[in-house]
Structure 1
Amino acid sequence: MTKKVNITTDAGADAMAVSEALSARIRLYRSQKKLSLDELSRRAGVSKGMLVEIEACRANPSIALLCRLAAAMGISVADIVNVASDPGVHLIQPEQIPVLWQGDHGGSARLLAGTSGPNMVELWQWQLFPGEIFTSPGHPQETTELLHVTAGTLLLTVNDDVFTLAAGYSAVAATDVPHSYACAGDTPLAFTMTVHENAR
């Protein structure tokens, strides 16, 4: 039985290719770090059974789960999805950019690029359609997100504080607490986001 933790890409062959790549890279990094399933489970706060399902490509990890696994292994999500940059210039072709979340009405989150290692910076492109919302339980301590709305209206909730950002507005948010992004209004929402995480 296939467990769906999150819809990670468009349906079909692309989704399977991304799932297989994620599974392979998680196995690779766990092996390189010499971590048993039990130890990674303990560090990430994820059940061993879920890790087995992910590594066997029978479960699709959510963005939040990818963040926890990456932090536990001392790498970045960009390392796992293979869009991390090495020193110098690293070009990423459009077809290499993965969709890591898909909303019920066609919205998406794409990890455009990121740096390697635990002190990481990531660049994301988000699109949400009316009625869509993405929720996160919170990232590791001292994670900061910079957001810029390019179209529509973003309803940003951080803990119990709610902020409405129209097109052209930007925000800086500490996201080591529960937070969410929602499309407010009747038009599609588009925003770019940079995530900075400090390893402790």
Structure 2
Amino acid sequence: MTDLDQLTQALAHNLKRLRTERGFTLEALATRAGVSRGMLIQIEQARTNPSVGTVVKIGDALGVSVQTLLKERDLTVRLVHADQAVRLWSTEAGSHSILLAGTEAPGPLELWQWRLMPGEGSDSDAHPVGTTELIHVTDGVLTLVVGDNEHQVPAGTSATFPSHVAHSYRNNGSEPVEMTMAVSVPPPR
């Protein structure tokens, strides 16, 4: 079984378990997540590999991290070696995001590594109210857009912002942007 097959199986199992634990019907979760019922069925049956955006929406609707949706088993101490980190988004030019680790503490908390190649970017839908993102740029200059406001974040600089509004990460420069990001989502209400 390939790594992708294992992730697809883990997502299928965890989605069905978490949806059932919360008492959500497929229709209720589809409405909460803004994802079609058919897509949820395909994911629960491990018949599709959904986009990162879809997995994030489902996690937000369930009140869990992407890591929780993808994890294979619970461990008290979990070491995530570089070869176990999950690349969830990439482009042919070399931009990518890697989910380094995640936990529920008390709500979802995720640690990401990102690379944005020149001229590329990534848009993110609004997360639940109370979600906060922290970023630290190690190389290049990141253009961070939160709502209608654009901010230049050069190497060596960190930023924090509420991410309950649409936001995006852009590389308008000529060198790759490297950054580390933490995302904290409040526990479900």
Gaps of 5+ in 2: none
Residue 7 of structure 1 corresponds to: none
TM-score scaled by length of structure 1:
0.82
Residue 141 of structure 2 corresponds to: 153
In 2: Cα distance, 1:100 partner to 1:59 partner? 14
In 1: Cα distance, 2:161 partner to 2:119 partner? 23
1:72 matched to 2:61:
yes
Residue 165 of structure 2 corresponds to: 177
Contact 1:85 1:114 survives alignment (8 Å): no
Q: CA RMSD in A?
A: 2.4
C-alpha deviation, 1:177, in angstroms: 0.5
In 2: Cα distance, 1:84 partner to 1:191 partner? 28
Contact 1:100 1:110 survives alignment (8 Å): yes
What is the percent sequence identity of the aligned residues? Answer: 40
- Listed one character per residue, the Cα deviations across residues 70-116 of structure 1 (whole Å, up to 9, x for unaligned) are 23223222211218976x53212223211111124121111111112
Higher alpha-carbon deviation: 60-69 or 129-138 = 60-69
Residue 113 of structure 2 corresponds to: 125
Residue 7 of structure 2 corresponds to: 18
One-letter amino acid of the structure 1 residue matched with residue 107 of structure 2: N
C-alpha deviation, 1:196, in angstroms: 1.1
Pick closer, same or farther for the CA change 1:93–1:23 going to 2, 3 Å: same
One-letter amino acid of the structure 1 residue matched with residue 15 of structure 2: I
Query: Which of 31, 38, 42 in structure 2 is aligned with 1:53?
Result: 42
Contact 2:88 2:96 survives alignment (8 Å): yes
C-alpha deviation, 1:24, in angstroms: 3.3
Contact 2:63 2:108 survives alignment (8 Å): no
Contact 1:23 1:56 survives alignment (8 Å): yes
Residue 71 of structure 2 corresponds to: 82
Pick closer, same or farther for the CA change 1:197–1:136 going to 2, 3 Å: same
In 1: Cα distance, 2:171 partner to 2:67 partner? 25
